[in-house]
């Protein structure tokens, strides 16, 4: 995933990261900074390099990938999202996505919604709130059904478990992260979420991920 992100950003954005007028491919930014700061104007250079107040009205599609860790059971899942995110104002975005994560015995898939409050800057820390609703797969004890559920050659041994479709899973989560605008269209994001599940605190998870979004006006 990281390799894919690097290749996509490098091929589409060239050297935008190094330019102080980084978002000239966005019409509003380009109009604002049509005349760039002069060579010695360090304050002007800094302003045009960090200003992202033009983002209001941008909408984009994104892919994200991450790892979900449950400290209590030490289980790890991997997965990602395919979604859309839009700037309601230059400090507020809303997003919606198809989301899926899979582990050895567990997993879930469904719809994810959220909003994020961020600074209108090129590097933008943010705090958000989100919710997931969908189907989940889990494990349960299976030492009475006459079957070797875990394939270890023993039938109904003590503690034998099997994978089951648990049914509905609902999660709310606080989120912290940061964005980096590569140019006027592409934005990289890292985020961390704490999943508070409907199945009790022992089922809570940490999710750490990265997101690549392509915006258009």
Per CB under 5 A, residues contacting Ca ion are: 142, 145, 147-150, 152, 154, 156, 160
Query: Is 142 in a helix, a strand, or coil?
Result: coil
Distance of closest approach, residue 145 Cβ to Ca ion, in angstroms: 5
119 vs 32: CA distance, rounded Å: 19
Distance of closest approach, residue 165 Cβ to Ca ion, in angstroms: 17
Distance of closest approach, residue 160 Cβ to Ca ion, in angstroms: 5
Distance of closest approach, residue 161 Cβ to Ca ion, in angstroms: 9
Residue written as tokens 């919604």?
113
150 or 204: whose CB is closer to Ca ion? 150
214 vs 134: CA distance, rounded Å: 26
3 or 144: whose CB is closer to Ca ion? 144
88 or 147: whose CB is closer to Ca ion? 147
CB contact at 8 A, 52 and 121:
yes
Query: Is 12 in a helix, a strand, or coil?
Result: helix
142 or 169: whose CB is closer to Ca ion? 142
118 or 149: whose CB is closer to Ca ion? 149
209 vs 128: CA distance, rounded Å: 14
Distance of closest approach, residue 74 Cβ to Ca ion, in angstroms: 21
CB contact at 8 A, 44 and 60:
no
């Amino acid at each position: 995933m990281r390799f894919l992100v690097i290749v996509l950003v490098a091929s589409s954005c060239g050297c935008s990261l190094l330019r102080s007028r980084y978002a000239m491919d966005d019409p509003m930014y380009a109009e604002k900074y049509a005349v760039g700061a002069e060579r010695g104007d360090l304050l002007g250079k800094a302003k045009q390099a960090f200003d992202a107040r033009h983002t209001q009205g941008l909408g984009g599609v994104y892919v994200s990938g991450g790892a979900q860790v449950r400290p209590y059971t030490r289980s790890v899942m991997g997965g990602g999202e395919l979604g859309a995110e839009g700037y309601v104002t230059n400090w507020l975005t809303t997003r919606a996505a198809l989301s899926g994560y899979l582990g050895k015995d567990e997993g879930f898939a469904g719809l994810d919604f959220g909003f994020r409050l961020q600074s209108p800057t090129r590097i933008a820390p943010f705090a958000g709130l989100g919710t997931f609703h969908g189907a989940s797969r889990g494990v349960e004890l299976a030492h009475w059904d006459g079957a070797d559920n875990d394939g270890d050659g023993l039938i109904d041994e003590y503690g034998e478990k099997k994978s089951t479709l648990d049914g509905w899973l609902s999660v709310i989560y606080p989120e912290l992260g940061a964005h980096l605008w590569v140019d006027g269209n592409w934005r990289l994001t890292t985020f961390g979420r704490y999943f508070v599940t409907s199945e009790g605190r022992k089922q809570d998870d940490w999710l750490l991920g990265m997101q690549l979004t392509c915006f258009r006006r």
